[in-house]
Amino acid sequence: MSKPVLQIEKLSKSYSLGKRNVPALSNLSLTVNAGEFVAIMGPSGSGKTTLLNVIGCIDKPTSGQVLLDGIDVSKLPENQLYKIRRDKMGFVFQTFNLLPYLNARENVELPMEGRIKSKSERKKRASELLALVGLSGREGHRPQRLSAGEQQRVAIARALANNPAIILADEPTGNLDSQNKQEIIKLLANLNLTQGTTIIMVTHDGQAAHHTERMLLLKDGKIIKEKEGTHLMKKNHKCPHCGSSIQMSDDTCHTCKKPIYSSDEPFSA
Amino acid sequence: MAIMVSIPAGVLANQQTANNLATNLSNTITQTGESINQTLTQIDCSLASGLSGFGFNAPNITIGQPGQGSSQGFDPSQFGGGGTPGQFGGGTFGGGQASPMNESLYTDINSTLSGVAAVEPILQASEGSNQTISMMGRSFTSLVTEYTIEGIPLTSDLIDNYNILTTNITAGRNLQAGDSGVVLLSENNSVYFGAGVGDTITILDQTFTVIGIHGTSSVSDTLTLYMNLSDAQAVTNNTGYITSIRVFASSSDVVTQVASSISSLHSELTVTTGQERLSQLESLQSTYNTSLSNAQASVSQTEATAVEEIIVVVAATSLIVLFVMLYTVRERTKEIGTLKAIGFSNLTVMGQFMLEGILLSMIAGVVGIAIGTIAAPTLSSLLLPSINLFGSSSGAVVTRTAGLSSAVTLNPQLILLAFGAAILLGTLGSLYPAWRAAKIRPAEAMKYE
């Protein structure tokens, strides 16, 4: 029913460190459908960020194929790739990466600059996006006047600016306290649910991973395990424990009184 | 940038100075040559040595020889003792003056020598003052003549037959035989005394009526006022004394013979014929030419230094822009990576940093030009060799009227040029850093400090 937005076929990527060739990804295949919320987990050095960079067209694969919305991006030159990044991708960084001398609205407008000519249209869309992430009224504030959680919301609004096919989030909760962590992960889940945005998230945080619908474990450049996340249940309004009906806003099941999200490490050995 | 506008301003001022000097010198040489050619039958006799007293002591040019100042009559202590014949006591005077001589001793020239058509006794005395003239940061104290009195015998015989009066009358009338108590002023005198035709002027407590104004007909008369010889002798307290005798030979063929007769009759006199004056003129001309080439050498040396300094400044400026921009790019690697990750093209990023570098240089340019406008004279005198127009050995030639001290000022073209240079240097200095910025991999945005 839903069509694949990302198809990776036999992807390999290696870096040359002096004379040695260090493989980061080997023969990896992955398909992500439109509207999916995927978490990529794995220990340090397992190739998570490399995979995200290749998907995001900011790194080139050594071999294999990456189809984004049907376009083979593995062979495109840089002067084409920036358009793919601008039009098809939205990046959310661990350290937010907002420009400090621009206010919230101007930061959100940045990716639109090459696409939307009318300044007032850009302004309008940026304000709408800020409202969507719960920051209406904060348009004129510079990053230094926003909390870490608020800065990440601005970054998410910026990622949504050009209506991207995929949002790539690299440890989006890595620099946040537990409360902000919860809010950001719920915001992403909510965007996925209500806007149908495809999200691929790299994370160390098992709790955050449970909020997705599909969890992948990466090791030595390969996907070695895959699990269903709780988010899928929520999409279907079913409690993962007793199967009774639940609401989107619920954190605990009304019937069995168990917390809906597990706090276990999803891939604990 | 301040330096970049100050140096060319200094060079321009130096060129201006040298050009003024060149114009003055060539005018002087031409005028002197003309006046000598008119008077080939004249023989000038005086007690003074050197060029003085032969019509070469151009009142607007004082030739000073610092090493020999006192013997040349530059030492004010020699003068001002009112009683000495040939001098008068009001102020300092005497630069280039001939020594006074007793008129009665030389009546025999006319009466005993053959080939002499007429004799014109002349008394010349100058009034002057010490003035400090500053030129390109150096100052000279020099005795500057205010005016020169020339007393000539106003007899109808001399006036009618010989070329003793100036001919270029611009207002009023010329002197006539028998005139007394009147003066013929030069245009400069007229300004100095603030008097025109019909006015009365006071020279050493005696009053004279201005009868006319003469224009310049030779270099020697721009500060000369003419009056009757007896008036001049009386007013300067030199009755019976003259400073030179001008002998008119009956024809140009006998000039040399008459000159040698005068020399043998009065060995104390320096006798100069038109021919000799011509050769003296040539030596004077060569002095002037030396001055001129000194000045030109000095100017071209200044220019060479200026070019070297500008090259250094330009190189330094580009390097500063280069390093500042490289540092900026390095500091903002993550920001650039972010911009590229969210869809900025290499070209946009490069343009952004070029623009930043150029803006930086433009602001620096405006500030520099502002500083330069105020500091140009100081800066250019600090950075450029002080211009030496006259060599080091031959003393100084100072002209009063030329306005040699051209000020170091910034003109609009220079400012525009400097601003253009600022933009150019900003562009050059930003090129490499901007290219480096464009080459930053967007994956850098993923790294966190």
Look at B384 and B392; give whichever has higher pLDDT.
Answer: B384
Q: What is the DSSP letter of B52?
A: T
- Do residues B387 and B136 lie in contact, with contact meaning Cβ atoms separated by under 8 Å? yes
B448, closest residue in chain A (CA to CA): A95
B151 contacts B231 by C-beta, under 8 angstroms = yes
Strand pairing class (B42-46; B270-273): antiparallel
CA of A248 vs chain B CAs: smallest distance (Å): 31
Q: In whole angstroms, how far apart are CA B229 and each of B123, B216, B240, B427?
A: 7, 21, 10, 76
Residue A111: list chain B partners with CB under 8 A: 342-343
8 Å CB contact of A99 and B334: no
Looking at the complex, report in whole angstroms how far the Cα of residue B364 sits from the nearest Cα belonging to chain A.
Answer: 22
Tokens of B173: 């009338």
Of B341, B441, B446, which has the smallest distance from its Cβ to A85's Cβ?
B341
Closest chain B residue to the Cα of A83, Cα to Cα: B343
Residues from A in contact with B at Cβ < 8 Å: 49, 52-53, 56, 58-59, 78-79, 82-83, 85-87, 89-91, 93-95, 97, 99, 110-111, 114, 158-159, 162, 170, 175
Of A79, A97, A114, the CB nearest to B343: A114
Chain A: closest CA distance from residue B428 (Å): 24
In a 3-state reduction of DSSP, which class is residue B198? Answer: coil
Q: A244 CA to chain B: closest CA distance, Å?
A: 41
DSSP B447: -
What's the whole-number mean pLDDT along residues B259-277? 83
d(CA A228, CA A223): 14
CB B446 within 8 Å of CB A55: no
User: Per DSSP, what are the bridge partners of residue A201?
Assistant: A39, A169
Residues of A in contact with B338 (CB under 8 A): 91, 93, 97, 99
Q: Hey, is B242 helix, strand or coil?
A: strand
Cβ neighbours of A99 in B, within 8 Å: 335, 338
pLDDT of residue B366: 87
Chains A, B: CB contacts within 8 A come to 67
Tell me the nearest-neighbour CA distance from A91 into chain B, angstroms. Answer: 7
Nearest to B177 by CA among B158, B198, B151, B197: B158
Chain B residue with Cα closest to A82: B343
Sign of CA dihedral A201, A207, A212, A218: positive
Using the structure block, give the residue that is written with the tokens 């009066």. Answer: B165
Q: How confident is the model at residue B348 (pLDDT cuts 50, 70, 90)?
A: very high
Distance from the Cα of B328 to chain A's closest Cα (Å) equals: 14
- Disruptive mutation site among A82, A151, A160 for chain B (greatest number of B CBs within 10 Å): A82
Taking an 8 Å cut-off on Cβ atoms, the answer to whether A83 and B343 are in contact is yes
Three-class HEC string of chain A: CCCEEEEEEEEEEEEEECCEEEEEEEEEEEEEECCCEEEEECCCCCCHHHHHHHHCCCCCCCEEEEEECCEEHHHCCHHHHHHHHHHHEEEECCCCCCCCCCCHHHHHHHHHCCCCCCHHHHHHHHHHHHHHCCCCCCCCCCHHHCCHHHHHHHHHHHHCCCCCCEEEEECCCCCCCHHHHHHHHHHHHHHHHHCCCEEEEECCCHHHHHCCCEEEEEECCEEEEEEECHHHHHHCCECCCCCCECCCCCCECCCCCCECCCCCCCCCC
- Cβ contacts (< 8 Å) between B343 and chain A: which residues? 82-83, 85-87, 89, 111, 114, 162
Query: Going residue by residue through chain A (269 aa), what tens digit of pLDDT does each one get?
Result: 578 999 999 999 998 888 888 889 999 999 999 999 999 999 988 999 899 999 999 888 999 999 999 899 988 998 899 999 999 999 999 999 999 999 999 999 999 988 888 999 999 999 999 999 999 999 999 999 999 999 999 999 999 999 999 999 999 999 999 999 989 998 999 899 888 899 999 998 888 898 899 999 999 999 999 998 888 777 778 888 888 888 777 788 888 888 888 878 888 75
Structure-token pair, residue A213: 């619908």
Mean pLDDT of B411-418: 81
The answer, yes or no, to whether residue B132 has pLDDT greater than 80, is no
pLDDT, one tens digit per residue, over B390-402 is 433 333 333 333 3
Q: Which residues neighbour B401 within 8 Å (Cβ) at sequence distance 6 or greater? A: B60, B188, B222
Distances (CA, A) of B404 to B18, B28, B39, B138: 8, 15, 32, 12
pLDDT tens per residue, range B77-130: 333 333 333 334 333 334 445 577 888 887 888 888 888 888 888 888 888 777
Tell me how far the alpha carbon of residue A105 is from its chain's centroid.
Answer: 21
DSSP 8-class letter at B51: T
A-chain CB neighbours of B446 within 8 Å are 49, 52-53, 58, 93-94, 170
**Nearest-by-CA chain B residue for A202:** B446
State yes or no: pLDDT of B358 exceeds 80.
yes
Tokens 């600090």 correspond to what residue? B382
Q: What is the mean pLDDT of chain B?
A: 75
Q: Is B50 left (phi over 0), alpha (psi -120 to 50) or beta?
A: left
pLDDT score of B96: 44
Which residues are bridge partners to B92 per DSSP?
B128
* pLDDT the model gives residue B140: 66
- pTM listed for this prediction: 0.63
For residues B214 and B221, the answer to whether their CB atoms sit within 8 Å is yes
Cβ partners under 8 Å of residue B147, min gap 6: B59, B126, B127, B186, B188, B189, B192, B193, B223, B224, B225
Question: Residue B387: which pLDDT band, with cuts at 50, 70 and 90?
Answer: low
Instruction: Tell if the CB–CB gap between B443 and A82 is shorter than 8 Å.
Output: no
Task: Write the DSSP symbol of residue B107.
Answer: T
* Contact present, B183 and B199 (Cβ < 8 Å): no
CB B132 within 8 A of CB B398: no
Cα dihedral: A156, A162, A164, A170 (round 10): -30
B312: buried, middle or exposed (CB in 10 Å: 19+, 13-18, 0-12)? exposed
pLDDT at B38: 61
3-class DSSP state for residue B364? helix
Half-sphere exposure for B384 (CA within 13 Å, toward CB):
35
pLDDT in tens, B304-321: 887 888 888 888 888 888
The shortest CB-CB distance from B335 to any of A52, A78, A99 is to A99
CA B373 to chain centre: 26
- Nearest one of A87, A65, A84 to A7, comparing CA atoms: A65
pLDDT-derived band at B422 (thresholds 50, 70, 90) equals: confident
Q: Does B169 score more than 50 pLDDT?
A: yes
Q: What are phi and psi of B294, to 5 degrees?
A: -60, -45
Fill in the amino acid letter for B445: A
User: B446 vs A114: CB contact, 8 Å cut-off?
Assistant: no
Per mean pLDDT, which range of A81-95, B8-22, B142-156 is the poorest?
A: B8-22
**What is the nearest CA distance from A180 to chain B, expressed in angstroms?**
19
Contact B442 A111 (CB under 8 A): no
Kindly state the tokens that stand for B75: 């030492």
Structure tokens at A219: 């090791």
Quick one: closest CA in A to B348, which residue? Answer: A114
Residues in B whose CB is inside 8 Å of some CB of A read 334-335, 338-346, 348, 441-443, 445-446, 448
Contact A244, A256 (CB under 8 A): yes
